[in-house]
Amino acid sequence: MVELERADQRQKIERFIQKMPSLSTTVRKVLEVCSRTDASPNELNRVISLDPVLTGQVLKLINSAYYSLINTITSLTRAITMLGMNTVKNMALSTAIIQSVAGSNKSKALPTSRFWVHSIGVGVSAKLLAIARGVPIQEREEFFIAGLLHDIGKVPFGDEYIHVLSIAGEKQRPLVEVEREFLGIDHQDVGALIAAKWKLSPAMTSCIGYHHDIDLADGETHQLVAIVALANLYVNIHDIGFAGDSFPEYADADRLLSLAGLQWSDFAAIDSKVEEEIQKAQIFLQV
């Protein structure tokens, strides 16, 4: 009987994901262009400029407090030159995904606003830890986006998730364990299904699908996944927003720090900056 219920749960989730909007043609072309080693900023500019809405979103983001630029940028070409192709790609991707799932929060268990505060908190914490690690500036946005999207697999769960969250809280257990026990599938698995639908990069898919099981991730993505996992731990410890995991697993924290190339002092040092960065990053929910 339990197996049948689990099979039914997975089918319901898969049907929900199938009905989720696909990424727009423009965003798919942006990802395609940026995946090529011979792609040029002019080529990316041509793709984005054909979509006035996306162009406006990119310009709104670059002129927000999140980037803290001195002068207003009115040219898409200038934005790409200043931020780099990878950052602009991630801006386009994140805004498209947030808009795609903003109205799809199926469960009443996770309040939408608090869920996104948690997600943004993990994004900015991951970026701050990447800065502490010395990650090059043109690669840091990847850490923010990976953190922002890490829990996207929680969106398709229905109201049965209320019971799962209740058990995790009452028993003070890691949420992912309770998901597996009661639903037969966890939010990492669901997130990986969504990542496959949207054809996200292997690195982004690893963060979404393995931030609680880093050993299953490809070795090349270990640092990125480890930093996102640490950022998630930080946000849960400090109770920033709400994503249902109030009692995370601490046992692997030392190993995650080692894989990330960080110290406990780096983990503690982001304290003074997280809240300010969360406020700046709220713009990603407003474009």
pTM above 0.85, yes or no: yes
Q: What is the pLDDT of residue 18?
A: 87
Those residues whose C-beta lies under 8 Å from the C-beta of residue 280, and which sit 6 or more positions away, are: 64, 65, 66, 68, 124
Q: Please tell me the distance from the alpha carbon of residue 183 to that of residue 177, in angstroms, as a whole number.
A: 10
Q: What is the DSSP string of 235-266?
A: HHHTT-S--S-SS---TTHHHHHHHHT--HHH
**What are 238-273's pLDDT values in tens digits?**
999 999 988 887 778 999 999 999 999 999 999 999
Tokens of 46: 């041509």
Cβ atoms 44, 219 nearer than 8 A = no
Averaged confidence pLDDT in the chain: 88
Q: What is the DSSP string of 92-133?
A: HHHHHHHHHHHT----SSS-HHHHHHHHHHHHHHHHHHHHHH
The one-letter amino acid code at 72 reads T
Neighbours of 250 (CB within 10 A): 11
**What are 180-205's pLDDT values in tens digits?**
998 989 999 999 999 999 888 899 99
**What are 19-73's pLDDT values in tens digits?**
888 888 888 899 888 888 888 888 999 999 999 988 998 898 889 988 888 889 9
With cut-offs at 50, 70 and 90, classify the pLDDT of residue 1. very low
Residue 105 half-sphere exposure, CB side, CA atoms within 13 Å?
15
Question: What are the helix (H) ranges across 134-174?
Answer: 140-149, 161-171
Residue ranges of the domains in the chain?
A: 21-103, 105-285
Q: Please tell me the distance from the alpha carbon of residue 148 to that of residue 142, in angstroms, as a whole number.
A: 10
Taking CA atoms, 186 is separated from 26, 35, 133, in Å, by 31, 29, 30
Question: 16-20, 106-110, 280-284: lowest mean pLDDT where?
Answer: 106-110
**CATH class of segment(s) 105-285:** mainly alpha
